[in-house]
Structure 1
């Protein structure tokens, strides 16, 4: 269990601590997919620029007098096919990671909203209810998770 969550002593019960722990795991999963998606965007753009610059200087500039000669020069070198497949593959990876990121974000947001909705049940006692803002502040400071409002 995370150390800030485990130090919540009498402010929360064990079930609430587990819910908060699960929320932190989902947040980390979302952040991980977000980072991977952003890196795939960067990789796709970089590889595409390299491919177009390479093709411009090796094919378009030398064979611009005829489309047939450009296509023939492109098809004669297998490296061009590998560059094209790499770019298309990076584009596919980028889209796959975008879907996974959106799914992880939805799971994280749904669990966060569930904790907000059930806050009256999770902090039933009067003393716990008055101290729940300390739990909310800890989650905001340590994990950048806002439990005050449902909207992002």
Structure 2
């Protein structure tokens, strides 16, 4: 009986330690704007993505545009370009690329593109909103949510 209780207690502790990304998904500042984008890496505007750490801003996708970056070894990330920690407004629209970081012009919130985590700012709760990205062949990426 004692072994059963110890096992039950250990199982409960393991599940209690698991974290969820529901907070990211429940972000009140970002809409679930549908994204289904195919990127042809042979096109000139996307050739920077052939090399690591060269992000590309793609307008008219997601909430205010998306940023795609090659993180190395044929691994890519895609994030929404809106600051996930305040409402989208005409005064403060898409964040600006500064190297491998996104910076909000309004509040100077700064996020790094390798993981989407925030680096600096005040009262930051949400990381960048990530999209799924997959490489179909050597020349095509697909970004979806």
With structure 1 as the length reference, what TM-score do the two structures score?
0.26
- Structure having greater relative contact order (Cα 8 Å, sep ≥ 6): 1
Bigger share in helix: 1
| Max Rg structure | 1
With structure 2 as the length reference, what TM-score do the two structures score?
0.27
